[in-house]
Structure 1
Amino acid sequence: MDADDIRAAFLTHMESTGHERIPRSSLVPTDPTTLFTGSGMQQLLPVLLGEPDPRGTRLTDSQPCFRAQDIDEVGDERHTTFFEMLGNWSVGDYFKQHQIDTFFRFLTDVVGLDPHRLYVTCFIGDPHHNIPRDDEAALIWQAAFASRGIDAGIAQIGSAAAGDARGIMGNERIFFYDADENWWSRGGNLSSTPIGDPCGPDSEVFYDFGPQHQDPSYGLAHPASDGGRFLEIGNQVFMQYQREENGTFSPLNRRIVDFGGGLERIAAAALGVPDVYAVSVLAPLLKVVEMLSDTTYAAAPGPMRVIVDHVRGAYFLAVDGVIPANKERGYVMRRLIRRAITTARTIGLREQFFAPLVAELGAIYARAYPETVERGDAILATLRREEKAFRRTLDGGLRALARFQGRTLTGADIFMLSDTFGFPPEITIEESEKLNIAVSKDWDLVYRRALQEQRERSRASSKLGAENMPQ
Structure 2
Amino acid sequence: MTYDPISRTFLDFFRERGHELVPDGSLIPPPGDPVLFTTSGMHPLTPYLEGRPHPLGRRLVNVQRCLRTTDLDEVGDRTHLTLFRMLGSWSLGDYDLPRSLRWGYELLRDGFGVPHERMHVTVFGGDDRVGPDEPSLRTWGELGLPVELTGEENWWSNGPTGPCGPDTEIFVWTGDGPPHGTPGTDERWMEVWNHVGMRYHRHGDGRLTPLRQPNVDTGMGLERLEMVLRGHRSVHEGESLVPWVGGVCDVWGLRDASLRVVGDHLRAGVVVVGDGVRPSNTGRGYVLRRLLRRTLTTLWRDEASRTLSDLPTAPVRHTLDSFRQSVTVDEVREVFTGEERRFRELLRRGRPVVLRRRSRGPLTDADYRDLHDTHGLPRDLVDGLLAEAG
Report the equivalent of 2:182: 222
Q: Deviations 1:364-422 (Å, cap 9, x if unpaired)?
A: 4524x212x45544333322322233234344445656778987663566776676345
Distance 2:310 2:271 in 1: 14
Matched, 1:256 2:212: no
Matching residue's letter, 1:208: W
Structure 1: how far apart are the matches of 2:233 and 2:260?
Answer: 14
- Structure 2: how far apart are the matches of 1:397 and 1:118? 51
**TM-score, normalization: structure 2?**
0.85
Is the contact between residue 311 and residue 333 of structure 2 (CA under 8 Å) also seen in structure 1? no
- How far the C-alpha of 1:111 sits from its partner, in A, is 2.7
Instruction: Tell me the residue number matched to 1:176.
Output: 149
Map of 1:160 onto structure 2: none
Q: Which whole-Å deviations, capped at 9, do the CAs of 1:233-266 have from their partners, x for residues lacking one?
A: 111011245679996766x663211011111211
Aligned counterparts of 2:91 and 2:71: Cα–Cα separation in 1 = 29
Change beyond 3 A, Cα 1:374–1:110: farther
Residue pairs, 1:318-333, within 5 angstroms: 318-333=273-288
Q: 2:170 aligns with which of 188, 192, 205?
A: 205
**2:284 is equivalent to residue 311 of structure 1:** no
- The alpha carbon displacement at 1:304 in A equals 1.5
Give the structure 2 partner of residue 360 of structure 1: 315
Kept in 2, the 8 Å contact 1:73–1:79? The answer is: yes
Deviation, 1:49, is 0.6
1:303-360 CA-partner distances (Å, limit 9, x unpaired): 1122112112221211111110112221121111111011012354733236644641
CA drift of 1:53 comes to 0.9
Conserved 8 A contact 1:307-1:344 = yes
Aligned CA distance change for structure 1 residues 34 and 58 (closer, same or farther; 3 Å): same
**Residue in 2 that maps onto 1:23:** 23
Which residue does 1:420 correspond to in 2?
376
2:253 aligned with 1:281: no
Aligned residue for 2:140? 141
Q: Which amino acid is the alignment partner of residue 214 of structure 2? A: R
DSSP 3-state at the match of 1:86: strand
CA contact (8 A) 2:251 2:310 kept: no
Alpha-carbon distance in 2 for matches of 1:386, 1:8: 38
**Change in CA separation of 1:248 and 1:291 when aligned onto 2, cut-off 3 Å:** closer
Check conservation: 1:303, 1:347, Cα contact below 8 A.
Answer: no
Which residue is equivalent to 1:166? none
Aligned counterpart, 1:87: 88
Task: Say which is worse superposed, 135-144 or 241-250, in terms of deviation.
Answer: 241-250
Partner amino acid, structure 2, of 1:223: P
253 and 325 in structure 1: CA distance in 2 versus 1, 3 angstrom threshold: closer
Which residue of the partner structure matches residue 383 of structure 1?
336
> 1:242, 1:408 → 2: CA distance?
50
Amino acid at match of 2:22: I
CA drift at 1:29:
1.4
Q: Does 1:370 align with 2:324?
A: yes
The alpha-carbon distance between structure 1 residues 181 and 88, as it changes in their structure 2 partners (threshold 3 A), is same
Q: Is the 8 A contact 1:96 1:137 kept in 2?
A: yes
Name the CA distance, whole Å, in 2 between partners of 1:83 and 1:397.
34
> Which letter maps to 1:118?
M
Q: Which moved more, 1:34-43 or 1:11-20?
A: 11-20
Equivalent-residue separation in structure 2 for 1:357 and 1:95 (angstroms): 48
| Alpha carbons of structure 1 residues 356 and 107: separation in structure 2 relative to 1, 3 Å | farther
- For the 8 Å contact 2:278–2:288, the answer to whether it is kept is yes
CA distance in 2, matches of 1:374, 1:242: 39
Gaps (5+ residues) in structure 1? Answer: 146-151, 153-172, 189-193, 215-219, 434-471
Residue equivalent to 1:238: 197
Tell me the residue number matched to 1:432.
389
| Contact 1:311–1:354 (CA under 8 A) maintained in structure 2 | no
In structure 1, what is the Cα distance between the partners aligned to 2:11 and 2:195? 17
Indicate how the Cα distance of structure 1 residues 303 and 198 shifts in structure 2: closer, same or farther if over 3 A, else same: closer
User: Mean Cα displacement is larger for which, 254-263 or 108-117?
Assistant: 108-117
Q: In structure 1, what is the equivalent of residue 346 of structure 2?
A: 393
Instruction: Look up the match of 2:306.
Output: 351
- CA gap 1:231/1:361 in 2 versus in 1, 3 angstroms: farther
Q: Does the residue aligned with 1:366 lie in a helix, a strand or coil?
A: helix
Q: CA distance change for structure 1 residues 133 and 8 in 2, over 3 Å: closer, same or farther? A: same
Work out whether residues 27 and 37 of structure 2, in 8 Å CA contact, stay in contact via their aligned partners in 1.
Answer: yes
| Contact 2:308 2:333 (C-alpha < 8 Å) held by counterparts | no
Structure 1 pair 358–136 and aligned structure 2 pair: CA distance change class (3 A): farther
Question: In the alignment, what sits opposite 2:68?
Answer: 67
Residue 139 of structure 1 aligns with an amino acid whose one-letter code is R
Determine helix, strand or coil for the equivalent of 2:265. helix
Cα distance in 2 for residues equivalent to 1:7 and 1:290: 29
Find the residue that maps to 1:113 and give its secondary structure.
Answer: coil
Q: CA deviation at 1:139?
A: 2.6
Unaligned runs of 5+ in 2: none
Mapped partners of 2:66, 2:279: distance in 1: 18
Residue-by-residue CA offset, 1:22-52 (whole Å, 9 max, x unaligned): 1222222124421221111111000011111
Query: Tell me, what secondary structure is at the counterpart of 1:232?
Result: strand
% identical aligned pairs: 33
Q: Which residue matches 1:465?
A: none
C-alpha separation in 2, matches of 1:138 and 1:72: 34
AA aligned to 1:229 is R
CA deviation map 1:419-451 (0-9, x unaligned): 634553552344123xxxxxxxxxxxxxxxxxx
RMSD: 3.4
